Structure 1
């Protein structure tokens, strides 16, 4: 069986079954060592379909964002947010957030779900905003959220750059305030599932133990934090945050 025909079988038979059984959950795929299973075209396709190969690191935030965009925008009459979250800087930050979340939770599946929720939340709010779905009062909430997120971003970078200033309570409080503003913003627009995603994301990143590890002395965490803060600084300089 050639690789192209095998990919056709995976696409037409395996993927629909996985989606029916597991929905949006990340899956692990374990092959038996056969050459067709190791072929680049197959492993690449599995990664694009959000199916990890057991023992390999397939996560790529850009691919995940593009996949989410395709799924969400297919239901919309606009492509105004087609490039949201797929720029180099945002992708790099999301990749590092995945790595640090994986390190903390000891779970690829949970880390993947956290970043996937970040992407879905950002996409849906971006679509609402660019399609003028928010009322004047909600637009005020948008501005308050932007300011609070900017404050949280600058605080996160400051805690990294200035020794002995880190206080997880301050950063945690800022992130939870961002969470509450998002809940208020989408109250009339998104489902309970989206509210659950918002809680999932912000409760994770605002968790005191997570922040303590992130800003601790661990070499891996310091590397992740440096890359995250470098990316945040770029977004701040661009006026994106």
Structure 2
């Protein structure tokens, strides 16, 4: 099952990693032949993928290699929204939007690596379903609050975002490190910040044109069944 959503919808470039694995399996990496060597080669390949991830995810060009155009546009508009909100509000840290973007990409690709390497089991399936449902609820709420004047409900959106946080944490805490869990918290700490939500959805918000771009991307994702 592909995790098709703005957080979990991506393809990982693994050509270099496969070359590393082939080298290890044929003795180029110093491993002996046999089942043990094959297993160790697989582990080496996964580590190589993570290393490549760390190098490319910090640049827009690198992200475009790993994430489809539609998701890239959605993430870019989310970043613009966060950046402009932080720039105009002293209660928000201006460094946080860039971290939000990087952490979303890192988490989504790491989960993708788990999936591609068949490290997600049957017990993870309900967690994936919950992530998709929680993301869809957030997406539909954002669209509704934008399109229906005076409909913004801070408490509802915060609860929906916290549901997302809980769902993602439930999946990654079994497979990823504490650092990845911290990245997840950083993302949702910012997105649920009352000052951020008020800056985006408050009456007469100056960010409405940017929000409209984000909503357009969300609607496309919903229509395509990615959310």
Residue in 2 that maps onto 1:231: 217
Residue in 2 that maps onto 1:30: none
**Bigger mean CA deviation after superposition, 99-108 or 122-131:** 99-108
Shift, 1:156, TM fit: 1.0
Which one of 138, 163, 166 corresponds to residue 124 of structure 2?
Answer: 138
Paired residues of 1:155 and 1:171 also in contact (CA < 8 A): yes
Paired residues of 2:139 and 2:218 also in contact (CA < 8 A): yes
Shift, 1:118, TM fit: 0.8
Q: Using the alignment, how far apart are the partners of 1:218 and 1:113 within structure 2?
A: 27
Shift, 1:190, TM fit: 0.5
Paired residues of 1:175 and 1:206 also in contact (CA < 8 A): yes
Q: Using the alignment, how far apart are the partners of 1:115 and 1:128 within structure 2?
A: 20
Q: Does 1:222 pair with 2:208?
A: yes
Unaligned runs of 5+ in 2: 1-55, 88-92
Segments of 4+ in structure 1 off by > 3 A? 217-220
Q: Using the alignment, how far apart are the partners of 2:126 and 2:202 within structure 1?
A: 36
Shift, 1:110, TM fit: 2.6
Shift, 1:105, TM fit: 2.2
Q: Using the alignment, how far apart are the partners of 1:96 and 1:49 within structure 2?
A: 17
Q: Using the alignment, how far apart are the partners of 1:212 and 1:109 within structure 2?
A: 19
Shift, 1:208, TM fit: 2.0
Rate the CA distance shift 1:109–1:209 in 2: closer, same or farther, 3 A.
closer
Q: Does 1:110 pair with 2:108?
A: no
Q: How many residues align?
A: 167
Could you report, residue by residue, the CA deviation over 1:140-172 in whole angstroms, capped at 9, with x for unpaired residues?
111111111111111111111111211011011
Residue in 2 that maps onto 1:92: 73
Shift, 1:64, TM fit: 4.8
Unaligned runs of 5+ in 1: 1-47, 51-59, 67-82
Could you report, residue by residue, the CA deviation over 1:174-232 in whole angstroms, capped at 9, with x for unpaired residues?
11111011111011211111000000001111222211110124554101110001000
Rate the CA distance shift 1:226–1:132 in 2: closer, same or farther, 3 A.
same
**Bigger mean CA deviation after superposition, 216-225 or 121-130:** 216-225
Residue in 2 that maps onto 1:63: 61
Mapping for residues 128-207 of structure 1, pairs under 5 Å: 128-207=114-193
TM-score (norm 2): 0.67
Paired residues of 1:64 and 1:116 also in contact (CA < 8 A): no
**Bigger mean CA deviation after superposition, 99-108 or 114-123:** 99-108
